[in-house]
Each structure stands twice: as structure tokens, then as C-alpha cells.
Amino acid sequence: MWYFTDEQKQLVDVCASFAKNEIAPHAEKHDTDETFNIDAFKKMGELGLLGITADPEYGGAGMGATAATIVMEEFGKACPGLTLSYLAHSMLCVNNIETNASKEQKEKYLPKLITGEHIGAMGMSEPGYGSDAVGMQCKATKKDDHYSITGNKMWITNAQYADVVYLYTRTGSARKDLTTFIVEKGMDGFSVSKEIHKMGMRGSPTGELTFENCKVPLENRVGEEGDSVHHMMRNLEIERLTIAGISLGIAQACVDQCIKYANEREQFGKTLGNFQLIQKMIAEMATETEMMRTFLYDSCKLWDEGKVSNTRAAMVKLQLPKMATKIALDAIQLHGGYGYSREFPVEKLLRDNKLNEIGAGTNEVMIMIIAKNLLNQMK
């Protein structure tokens, strides 16, 4: 983008090179085998990317939503699954701790999360509570010198590898009586109870977390009891912007694949790129992708300046994944039978992107948020 700083332009180059050399060559295998490229993930720590928004005092890069989204786009072109795990670690765990935790908690947890020695996750959704996250039932009960936590968390990215979980729980009967804790791997009563197998994002591990009278020290509570809803709201905008960055990467990858294929594939004695209908498809896909890019990075810039609204972030989260799905479907159509097979990556890109229409708030929830906010403004 024309307004990227020199530092952000350098970040684009670093991430593009890393994605090409460390992520893309292994993406197909990790999708097929449903495995996690932990080696590449650890190397992200060496590049200083795992704490992209965290304070340099703890080893972070001290950058904002624009920089984080650059990483999502460049990595998303190569392997959306691994990029989703990166998002769960850097945005849902690290950024939440950076934003909401005490200085002591930051000093304890952030350095190892930022170097990649530890992997992070966030526990919000439950088997019976997805879109209605505030209705969660995982309960924390205060004892003498600790909290006892009981319940389950579902659809947790990085569950099987997480050393640290940023966990939301219920501590009272009212809907907003929710409290946050930092839970560590190895705490009594904490386990990964089920591995979840998915249609797409297969290179990103997903599981169910179980807490059976899990004993968590008082000092692991983040803020005061009842602060969780506030914590959620403080992180939602950047979460929605950055996951849209993965969809932007997917859309651009589809465009790149279509241009390459149209220049190579021959039908009726000439390459596909010579047919006007194929030209129309590519021109529209590329234009739609550029519209996505402008809307997203303009919104990220506003977030970095403290000006983005909840409505704007929801609009980005609604529209970009929807457009990326449409572009991926067009890419499959352009590739014909090859697009429907696994010989070309466009079918994988479609499978991966569908998650972005569900995670971090479904399309339907985004519509509810946008409409509610706009109608209330008119009042």
C-alpha cells in the first residue's frame, strides 16, 4: 500500500521470503497429513513475529494492526492453516496478555511466548456456546489460595500444542459475570480431551480443552472478577481485522494461480489467457482482491490511529472472507477439472477460507453487529 512505512515495506519483504522458503514448500503435506509445521512456527519467533504487537520491553516488535495484517496476508498466501495458528498465538493469546494482563504476568509469560519457546492459545467457545460466547458455562470458583475451574472449551486453535491458554470463565450467575485466567500446561485438572478434524485449515491443530477442578493460582487471574467482557471487547477489532488478512492472502493466491494457469493451459490451440471470458474472470478477481486490500489496510491504519469502530471492524470481517470464498470458487471454475482436484492448490484455498466466514464471529453475527450499530446511531 502506498502509505506503508519503510518498516512495514521491509516487513512485507521479510514475510514474503519466509513464506516462500519455509512455509509454502510444506503446506500441501501438512494439509494432507493434518499436521502442524512447528519448525516454521518456531522460526517465526527468531524473526520477532510472534510478538508483533507486544511491547519491546518483553521482546515484542511493538507494531500495530497494519503490521500484524501484513504477516497474515503474506503467510496466508502460502498456508492459511499455519497462519491461523499464528493468529491464535500472536493475537488471541499474546496480544490479549499484552493488552489486559498485569506487569508481573507479562514479565512471566510474554518472553517465552514471543521467542516461540512456548505456544499460546485462547479458550472462549464451548460445546454449547459458540456465537453466544457470553453464555459460557466453564466455571471458576474461588477457594482459599486458588480458583478451581471446571468445564470444556471447544474449537481451540493450537490446543494440542499450547503451553499457555488465555481462558475465559464464568464466576457468577449474571451473563456478564465472566473472569479471565492464564492457565499453564501441566496444571492439575487441565487436559486436551479431543482432537478435532476439519474440512479446511488442516495445517492448524484444533482441539477441545477439559478442566476438571483445575487448580489455578490467584495470581493467574487477569484483572478483577467480571472483567472478561471488557477484555473481549478490547481485542475483537484487531482479531477481526487480522483474520480478514488471511482471506486477503487467500484471494491473492487464487489470482496468482489463475494467471499462471491461464498462461500455461492450452485449449482449442491457444492458451486460456487468449479467451475473453477467462480474461474477464481474471480481471474481476484481481479487481475484487484490490478492493479487499484497500478496505482492509485503510481499516488497519485507522485502528493504529485509534479511530476504527466496532462497526468498521465487523464490516471488514463480514465482507473480506465472503469475497475470498467467491474468488476461490471462480478460481476453481477457471481451472476446470484440475481446480476440483488436489493437483492444484485452489481447492485447498477454498476449504481453508470457509473457516474465516465462521471463526472470530460468523457472517451472521457480523450482520447483527453492523445492523444494530447503524440502527442505534440513527436513534
Catalytic residues: 239
244-281 burial string, b = 16+ CB within 10 Å, else e? bbbbbbbbbbbbebbeebbeeeeeeeeebeeeeebeeb
Maximum C-alpha span of the chain = 80
CB atoms within 10 A of CB 61: 22
**Burial (CB count <10 Å: 0-12, 13-18, 19+), residue 185:** middle
Q: How far is CA 188 from CA 79, 148, 168, 211, 218, in A?
A: 35, 10, 18, 9, 15
Residues 6 or more apart whose Cβ sits within 8 Å of residue 376? none
- Separation between Cα atoms, residue 129 and residue 167, nearest integer Å: 15
Residue 336 and residue 378 in contact, taking contact as beta carbons nearer than 8 Å:
no
- Separation between Cα atoms, residue 363 and residue 209, nearest integer Å: 25
Q: How far is CA 324 from CA 51, 273, 291, in A?
A: 27, 22, 11
Helix (H, G, I), strand (E, B) or coil at 162: coil
- Separation between Cα atoms, residue 95 and residue 84, nearest integer Å: 15
Helices (H), the chain: 6-18, 24-33, 38-46, 65-78, 80-87, 95-100, 103-115, 228-264, 276-304, 310-335, 337-340, 346-354, 363-378
- Separation between Cα atoms, residue 271 and residue 251, nearest integer Å: 23
